[in-house]
Structure 1
């Protein structure tokens, strides 16, 4: 068990170090990656009937999508920012439904949407 605690601590420190040195573009990528990871972990917890863990992981995914939404500049971003705002709100709603109804399909839907947004974001950086 101590090895797992040490590994998690290392991952946390490593992630924090990456965030300090990251560009704003990379920070958004890291948020999206984190959201996708939490959704995948929540799916696994759902399959294993680990209700509390599932709820915690979905809560973290909701927080990440909420952070992405909060980062939008609706005043300057025009139609794109407005569309992303609506999409992120939809993702949050679906994540809440997935948690309440143990709906793995809703988790996969949100993961697909987030992967699509991330692919577009990744293309901007290249």
Structure 2
């Protein structure tokens, strides 16, 4: 058996187990972590000149941000303005990552990563039971 294939299969099973056991709060954290990871991997691919891989990874990061946007729930907050601001921020991140993809610009990837880290750090401070 190919050891790399076995490792990928284990990671796939392990991630499915984590997802099935995760709270909604943890799922959002996992999405944010995944987005940051894809951006870092995309920067690595870009530095190696692997443009197809960079494009794939940035597309995945944009998809993850889209998932975060879809997860916003107006019914669970009284602060509609804050929710709209977060939606607008996610939209901005997706647009910027698309621009980074087109321009092969690692600085734009860094900008979006910093924004997502800021959102994630706030999310990490929220106790899961308060959601």
TM-score exceeds 0.5: yes
Q: Which residue does the alignment assign to 1:10?
A: 10
Q: Which residue does the alignment assign to 2:36?
A: 36
Q: Which residue does the alignment assign to 1:90?
A: 92
Q: Which residue does the alignment assign to 2:101?
A: 99
Q: Which runs of 5+ in 2 are unaligned?
A: none
Shift of 1:76: 4.8
Q: Deviations over 1:82-104 (max 9, x none)?
A: 11100000000000000000000
Structure 1: distance between partners of 2:56 and 2:3 = 22
TM-score normalised per structure 1: 0.95
Q: Which residue does the alignment assign to 2:57?
A: 57
Shift of 1:74: 3.4
Deviation above 2 Å: which 4+ runs of structure 1? 74-77
**CA radius of gyration, larger in:** 2
Give the number of equivalent residue pairs: 126
Shift of 1:32: 0.4
Whether 1:27 aligns to 2:33 is no
Shift of 1:75: 5.1
Structure 2: distance between partners of 1:109 and 1:4 = 33
Q: Which runs of 5+ in 1 are unaligned?
A: none
Q: Deviations over 1:45-70 (max 9, x none)?
A: 00001011001100100000000001
